[in-house]
Amino acid sequence: MEYRRIKDQDKDEDAVHDDVESLRGKPHSDSPINALGGSSVDRTKWKRKSVVTLALTVLTSSQAILIVWSKRAGKYEYSVTTANFLVEALKCALSLAALARIWRKDGVTEDNRLSTSWDEVSVYPIPAVLYLVKNLLQYYIFAYVDAPGYQILKNFNIISTGVLYRIILKRKLSEIQWAAFILLCAGCTTAQLKSNSDQVLQTPLQGWVMAIIMALLSGFAGVYTEAIIKKRPSRNINVQNFWLYVFGMAFNAIAIVVQDFDAVVNKGFFHGYSLITVLMILNHALSGIAVSMVMKYADNIVKVYSTSVAMLLTAVVSVFLFGFHLSLAFFLGSIIVSISVYLHSIGKPQR
């Protein structure tokens, strides 16, 4: 099995992972510098992991805030497919710009050259295809569930990511970390409870099945991306991103032709774009890159925690920005998610 190898190749990363885990939450552990044995390489790795995780959290919450802002400003008047295409194009451009800097500094090496082999690149379209199938299913699930219900069912993603992470990447979570992960799912759902949330229990069987399939597709896409990126630990992340995003661009170009061909031809590619649209594209591009970085330097579990905490941050910020009210359910959910984060950090597996 191909993924088994990733685990072994990645032992070094893994060791750092454990150290980071221990110093993040354990009150009895030594200071970060002692815990990492004072090695500056390890310190750099730990810093890098923290920075990308923080970036993902901040970008994801500002993303949600931009969506609320754009909804308040009026309906989407631009073609969503063109915006998605531009997000992928921008990510490609940013990866190339980062690579250009690296080439100037270090020269072109085996690890940072853009040219690739069929063996390396052949798996890169798979996440894009998985997300495409998931997005297609999204249209059909609304026949069975309304939008608030779908928001609640989407929390299955948390569980599916944990299960697939364990099965496909063969990484172990301790019993406490599993308990923490189920709590994360329960806490996020609790935080989202509205007075009409019980309707989701009336979802017909087809709706449940589709929600579970979508959660599995989404979880599989995330775990598969991590597997691709970690398969070659020494390969430069910007090269890996470049190839991921090239296929993203290709699939979104097809989507423009299929869905919005007439609108683009008649009204132009950029019709209906506003300042918010541009900010959203910029934000999506940056958070997309942050996700890749988290996959490279941390893992899917960190990604799930990061986006869950971002969901809570969004709600708190919305109180100040938009005068939202926080519900009792939100407070309870936040407590549960906080304890989940704490338990995850103290519950690292014993080896």
Using alpha carbons, select from 110, 126, 118, 97 the residue that is nearest to residue 242.
97
CB closer to a second copy out of 11 and 325? 325
Closest distance of CB 108 from a second copy, Å = 50
Cβ partners under 8 Å of residue 295, min gap 6: 222, 225, 226, 229, 230, 303
Closest distance of CB 184 from a second copy, Å = 11
Task: Give the Cα separation of 315 and 267 in Å (integer).
Answer: 36
CB closer to a second copy out of 135 and 327? 327
- Residue listed under structure tokens 């690739």: 116
DSSP letter (8 states) at residue 114: S
CB closer to a second copy out of 30 and 106? 30
CB closer to a second copy out of 157 and 238? 157
Closest distance of CB 146 from a second copy, Å = 14
End-to-end alpha carbon distance in the chain: 23
Q: Could you say which residues in the range 169-208 bind a second copy, by CB under 8 A?
A: 175-176, 179, 182-183, 186-187, 189-190, 193, 195, 197-198, 200-201
CB closer to a second copy out of 322 and 342? 342
Q: Does 212 engage in binding with a second copy (CB under 8 A)? A: no
- Residue listed under structure tokens 């799912």: 185
- On whether the CB atoms of residues 127 and 291 are closer than 8 A, the answer is no
Cβ partners under 8 Å of residue 93, min gap 6: none
CB closer to a second copy out of 302 and 336? 336
For the window 114-153, what string marks contact with a second copy as x by the rule CB under 8 A?
--------------------------------------x-
Q: Could you say which residues in the range 6-35 bind a second copy, by CB under 8 A?
A: 27
Cα angle 285, 287, 288 (rounded to 5 degrees) comes to 60
What is the token pair recorded at 134?
Answer: 């998931």
Closest distance of CB 350 from a second copy, Å = 11
Closest distance of CB 60 from a second copy, Å = 23
Q: Could you say which residues in the range 234-293 bind a second copy, by CB under 8 A?
A: none
CB closer to a second copy out of 96 and 329? 329
Cα separations (Å) of 325 from 78, 186, 293, 329?
30, 21, 34, 11
Q: What is the CB neighbour count within 10 angstroms for residue 257? A: 11
Among 291, 343, 344, 348, binds a second copy (CB under 8 A): 343
- On whether the CB atoms of residues 324 and 164 are closer than 8 A, the answer is no
In the complex, the residues that contact a second copy under the rule CB under 8 A are: 27, 152, 175-176, 179, 182-183, 186-187, 189-190, 193, 195, 197-198, 200-201, 325, 327-329, 332, 335-336, 339, 342-343, 346-347
